[in-house]
Chain A
Amino acid sequence: MPSEFGLFVSTDIAKCSGCKACEMACFQSHNIKRNNVGKTVGTISVPVTPKLYVTVIETASMPVQCKHCENSPCKAVCQQKAISRVGSQIIVDEAKCIGCKDCLMACPFGAIALLPFYVGGRQAPQADSSGGKVAASKCDLCYEDPEGPACVRVCPNEALRLTDVNEERKKKNIAAAEALAVINAGDPGRRALS
């Protein structure tokens, strides 16, 4: 049964080494068709525009990416109706994006960036602006790729995982219940007449 709530990629911060393989994989998997980016550096003819953003400090690093919120502020503020819910995921239609930056401001996680939008190796036109089109860029969970999020697949440290909060909750509930069984068994007071 399709998940009722949006899936999202979450990071095990202890394992992330900040290597940015996920960023490259994300850029590559979204530009194979559009800008025929291959698997080797030589095939890249457009700026690297990932949809997740590895953030590094001395002691830790993690990719920041969209949580596919249920009451997504970005979708709520986008007057162009460029952001919509597809299945359970929040998807940006870059073609419709006019670069107003409202979604970027609304997202509390900083998961949306304005990045150049290239098609066929050239930057798409943006009305009459000289610099060419920039569009809101955020994780779309590789929703068109049957194998799921590229970042999760390539991470060398297996720091990323696709999270379905409902499925995980069921597992955690069982563990929590078993813990309560141990507590009850050990505590004669708990079993005494109340």
Chain B
Amino acid sequence: MSMGVHEIEDAALLFVFGYNGADSHPIVARRIVRAKQKGAKIICCDPRRIETARIADMHLQLKGGTNLLLVNALANVIIEEGLCDDDFIEKHSTGFEEFKEVIKKYTPEGVAERTEISAGEIRKAARMYAQSGRSMILYGMGVCQFGQAVDVVKGLANLAIMTGNFGRPAVGIGPVRGQNNVQGACDMGALPNVYPGYQSVTVPAIREKFEKAWGVKLSDQPGITLTNVPHHVLHEPDPKKRIHAYYIMGEDPAQSDPDLAEVRESLEKCDFVILQDIYMNKTGQYADVILPATGWCEHDAVYSCCDRGFQKARKLIEPTGDVKRDWEIIGLISKAMGRPMEYTNTVQIWNEVIDLCPGFMGATDEKLEKNACIQWPCRSKEEHDMGTVFLHKDGKFAHPDGKAKFAPSEWRPPQELENEEYPLSFSTVREVGHYSVRTMSGNCRTLRNLEDEPGWIQMNPEDCGELGLRHGELVKVRSKRGYCITRCLPTERVKKGATYMTYQWWIGACNELTIGNLDPISKTPEYKYCACRVEKIEDQAWAEKHVREEYEEIRANMGIQTKGGRAA
């Protein structure tokens, strides 16, 4: 995020695009509510009537899969009606002319029919965004989990640049990162194309710096992404590019990747799979080696939160069982492979990290120990430098010329549209009471009792009527790739023809349905759009029994002997 979470409530206008704060980050949703209380305007673009839409001044309930049409149309209006911040564009950006060329085609009237939003509404929203004085964009998986994710992110950034909403308090653009340390994993270089601190592996000077620091020759070839692993195990023609070993730490691809059937097959066919985790999970069923690690609260660590804030997570209790800390395990394996990599504690590792990354240099352990939350970049180790709240101050950008680059792109429809065999659109969404693959929240008593297997499929009441479905009835949801069983939840908050399922259930496993279509650049799968069919189950008694039995079977596979854990 280019700004801080605490700044959200000071924005004059919040442009919330494909982001459901109430379910993903209740604490960020709190800031959105406070912004509203302090008089901010809210424009919410989401195909569902989410909580933010309910309190929004404008809810653009666009048809799923038409993000870029709407974004480009908004830009079109801002240009046509001369609402640009010409001074900011002139001083701090490049490529505006080519951008205008592409955007000309996306008139509000032209996109109205496909986005199901009237031209008038598009014009009004564009004016509100451009003229508020302090507009802030928040976006989430509704943007990123599409085949055209990166283009839409650039499209939103274009809006911020052309209206000068950058480099000042309470403006900017923010992907609200989902997981507690996804920002941190990126910061630390757990990415195929960058070292820690986003330093590229293909830049010789940087590579030499790390080669000197680590004392070894480094490969100059970017690696592959997590979502490409199934391809590289099963379908990769070139033997040199095939994957034979998969060292998985704190992940559960067999539950959270799309098209689970393919993932399972790839895990089976991969010669050697290592799972290093705290709980048995679906991936563990295919792992050749299980290495038990310490969990959150059982070790010290530094996390990066969604607005680039480094914070300490402290050890509260001694770990149970014969477990070791993640970095300890990796160190042992590395030593056994002839390359010792031993550390005594996290502070020692952290010091090594910040000395290699200019942007993190000042986030010293002393500052973090005093419960500071230091948003990088924080370049000097002195006490006074407590980090940077918002980026691009005075319009300075990371490109070599210090200017922002306009990046126009053409709209592409999602890969799999509804058809008569699968007449409904399907998207994954988040359940507020649970988290990701649910090996943590699913094992918490009160969270489990509040919401349990097999989850729900949110559907428009009319669609439910046509299929003769009632609230709470078990249904079968099927796509070209697979099916799962879950409960029907009729709600007017969902438009006709669309369905939504929360993705952390193991019986109601909606990733059996999702499609593996990846964004060409970010390689993020198109979770938010595929086609599905919902089938009524005549024999509800059988279905209830089946769900209970499957739940017990899963628990048994996970090594649980005791009875209990009833399905809701």
User: With A and B bound together, what is the CA distance between A1 and B488 in angstroms?
Assistant: 13
User: With A and B bound together, what is the CA distance between A28 and B374 in angstroms?
Assistant: 81
Choice from A1, A170, A193 contacting B38 with Cβ under 8 Å: A193
B315 within 8 A of A: no
Choice from B34, B37, B472 contacting A1 with Cβ under 8 Å: B472
A169 within 8 A of B: no
| Cβ contact within 8 Å between B540 and A193 | no
A60 smallest CB distance to B (angstroms): 37
Which residues of A sit under 8 angstroms from B37, Cβ to Cβ?
Answer: 191-193
User: With A and B bound together, what is the CA distance between A1 and B472 in angstroms?
Assistant: 9
Which residues of B sit under 8 angstroms from A1, Cβ to Cβ?
Answer: 472-473, 540
Of all chain A residues, the one with the shortest Cβ separation from B470 is A1
A interface: dominant SS? loop
Of all chain B residues, the one with the shortest Cβ separation from A170 is B471
- List A141-194 residues whose CB lies under 8 Å from chain B: 170, 191-193
User: With A and B bound together, what is the CA distance between A56 and B41 in angstroms?
Assistant: 62
For B, the interface residue count at a CB cutoff of 8 angstroms equals 7
User: With A and B bound together, what is the CA distance between A91 and B60 in angstroms?
Assistant: 56
B148 smallest CB distance to A (angstroms): 37
B29 smallest CB distance to A (angstroms): 15
Q: Contact flags (1/0) for B35-73 with A, using CB distance below 8 Å?
A: 001100000000000000000000000000000000000
- List A41-80 residues whose CB lies under 8 Å from chain B: none
User: With A and B bound together, what is the CA distance between A192 and B471 in angstroms?
Assistant: 36
- List B425-483 residues whose CB lies under 8 Å from chain A: 471-473
User: With A and B bound together, what is the CA distance between A170 and B34 in angstroms?
Assistant: 30
- List A99-133 residues whose CB lies under 8 Å from chain B: none
Which residues of A sit under 8 angstroms from B540, Cβ to Cβ?
Answer: 1
User: With A and B bound together, what is the CA distance between A191 and B34 in angstroms?
Assistant: 9
Of all chain A residues, the one with the shortest Cβ separation from B36 is A191
Which residues of B sit under 8 angstroms from A193, Cβ to Cβ?
Answer: 34, 37-38
Interface residues on A, range: under 10
A48 smallest CB distance to B (angstroms): 39
Which residues of A sit under 8 angstroms from B472, Cβ to Cβ?
Answer: 1
User: With A and B bound together, what is the CA distance between A1 and B540 in angstroms?
Assistant: 8
Which residues of A sit under 8 angstroms from B471, Cβ to Cβ?
Answer: 170
Interface centre among A1, A170, A192 (most CB of B within 10 A): A1
Of all chain A residues, the one with the shortest Cβ separation from B473 is A1
Which residues of A sit under 8 angstroms from B38, Cβ to Cβ?
Answer: 193
User: With A and B bound together, what is the CA distance between A191 and B39 in angstroms?
Assistant: 11
A145 smallest CB distance to B (angstroms): 22
B555 smallest CB distance to A (angstroms): 24
User: With A and B bound together, what is the CA distance between A120 and B471 in angstroms?
Assistant: 46
User: With A and B bound together, what is the CA distance between A164 and B473 in angstroms?
Assistant: 18
Of all chain B residues, the one with the shortest Cβ separation from A188 is B37
Of all chain B residues, the one with the shortest Cβ separation from A167 is B471
User: With A and B bound together, what is the CA distance between A170 and B471 in angstroms?
Assistant: 11
- List A1-57 residues whose CB lies under 8 Å from chain B: 1
User: With A and B bound together, what is the CA distance between A60 and B473 in angstroms?
Assistant: 42
Interface centre among B37, B472, B473 (most CB of A within 10 A): B37
Which residues of A sit under 8 angstroms from B34, Cβ to Cβ?
Answer: 193
User: With A and B bound together, what is the CA distance between A1 and B543 in angstroms?
Assistant: 11
User: With A and B bound together, what is the CA distance between A191 and B37 in angstroms?
Assistant: 7
Which residues of B sit under 8 angstroms from A192, Cβ to Cβ?
Answer: 37
- List B7-57 residues whose CB lies under 8 Å from chain A: 34, 37-38
A40 smallest CB distance to B (angstroms): 41
Query: 7 extra interchain contacts, Cβ-Cβ under 8 A, other than A1-B472, A170-B471?
Result: A1-B473, A1-B540, A191-B37, A192-B37, A193-B34, A193-B37, A193-B38
Interface on B for A, CB 8 Å cutoff?
34, 37-38, 471-473, 540
Q: List 9 A-B contacts (CB under 8 A).
A: A1-B472, A1-B473, A1-B540, A170-B471, A191-B37, A192-B37, A193-B34, A193-B37, A193-B38
Interface on A for B, CB 8 Å cutoff?
1, 170, 191-193
Ranked 6 nearest A-B pairs via Cβ: A193-B37, A191-B37, A1-B540, A1-B472, A192-B37, A193-B34
